[in-house]
Chain A
Amino acid sequence: MISGRCAACKYLRRRCPSDCIFSLYFPPNDPQRFACVHRIYGASNVAKMLQQIPPPLRAEAAETLYFEARCRIEDPVYGCVGVISQLYEQLQSAESELAKTQAEIAVLNCNPQEAPIEANSNFNTLLAPFHSNFLV
C-alpha cells in the first residue's frame, strides 16, 4: 500500500505499517510538517515521545512539537524561547502601563478638583482630543 504511506514513512522511504505511530499526525498531504519535526528532533525521538503519551493527547503533542520545531528553524538560536521572552516583555509593559493608569485614576479619585490636567503623559495623551474642544 505504497500510495497510503504517511508523510513520515514517505520521508523515511519505508513501508507504512497499519499501526504506524506517525500516520495519524503526519498526513501525506503535508510533507513539510514531518520534515520540520524530523530536522529538529529526529524520527525516533518523536516516535518515542508519542508512544509515551496517551493516544487521546498525541495529536496535541504532535502539534506542539511541530510548532516548536518551526520556531527553532526560524530562530536557530532561541527557538520558541524567543517567543516566550517577547511575551514576558509584553506582559511587563502591559503591567507597567496598567499600574500607571490605575495610579492616575487613584489620584483623580482622591483629588478630583485639584488634579492638574498636565499630570502625566498618559493623561494628556488620552485627553488630547478633548482639550481642544472643552478647554477655554
Chain B
Amino acid sequence: MASSSSYNSPCAACKFLRRKCTPGCIFAPYFPPEEPQKFANVHKIFGASNVTKLLNELLPHQREDAVNSLAYEAEARVRDPVYGCVGAISFLQRQVQRLQKELESANADLIRFACNEINPTANLPPPPSITPRPRSSSLGFYQQPPAFPLPYPLPWNDTSDPSGNINDGGEGNM
C-alpha cells in the first residue's frame, strides 16, 4: 500500500484524472504513481466514480483486496474484451473436471489392482469372468501443473480443449 497524497507526487488516479491529489484521496493508498496502468485499466472498465462508490461501501481494511481484484478483472477484460475473467473461470473449471475424471479413473485402477492382489486369499469363489488384468497403461504419468501464480498471468490460450478455444479473443493486446 503506497500513499502519495502528501506533498509527494499525486497518485496514479489523480494523475490520470488531472486533478489535485488531496490528503484524503480514496485512491491514493491503492494506486501508486509507479503503476499508472493499474488505474488506467480500472478506469477504462469500471470508471472512477463507480470505483469510488464501491470502495466507499467497504471497510477500510477490505479496500486493498477489492482494488487488487478490480485491477485483475479490469486487466482481464482489457486483454479479452469478450470473456474477461470468465475465460479463465471456464478454463479452470474444465481443468478441474478433467482432473476429477483422471482421479476417478486412477482410483478405479487402484481398486482393481487391489482386488487382483486380494482375490487369491478370498474365501468366496471368484466370479467367472475374473482374469489377471493387464497393468493399466492408459494412465498418463502425472504431469506438472501449469504454473499459474495468483493473480497473474492468466491462461488465455486453452489448448487442452478439443472442442475449440473459448478464448478466441484472448490474445493479449495491451
Contact = CB atoms under 8 A, between A and B. Distances in A.
Interface of A: 40-42, 44-45, 49, 52-53, 57, 60-61, 64-65, 67-68, 72, 76-85, 87-88, 90-92, 94-95, 97-99, 101-102, 104-105, 108-109, 112, 115, 122-123, 126-127, 130, 133-136
B89 A109 contact: no
Contacts of B2: none
B85 A81 contact: yes
A79 B58 CA distance: 13
B24 to A, nearest CB: 21
B88 interface: yes
Nearest to A44: B47
B73 interface: yes
A62 to B, nearest CB: 10
A61 B95 CA distance: 23
A94 B54 contact: no
A77 B66 contact: yes
Contacts of B139: 102, 105
B84 A94 contact: no
Nearest to A125: B107
B99 A83 contact: no
A77 to B, nearest CB: 5
Contacts of B72: 81
A105 B110 contact: yes
Interface residues of B, number: 59
A136 B93 CA distance: 44
B146 to A, nearest CB: 10
Contacts of A61: 81-83
A98 B106 contact: yes
Given A126-B107, A127-B114, A40 B46 contact: yes
Interface stretch (B9-17, B26-34, B115-123): B115-123
B93 A87 contact: yes
Contact of B122 (A101, A112, A134): A134
Nearest to A52: B81
B153 interface: no
Contacts of B49: 42
B150 A135 contact: no
B71 to A, nearest CB: 10
B58 A77 contact: yes
Given A49-B45, A76-B54, 9 more contacts: A40-B46, A41-B47, A60-B82, A64-B83, A91-B99, A94-B99, A97-B103, A112-B117, A134-B124
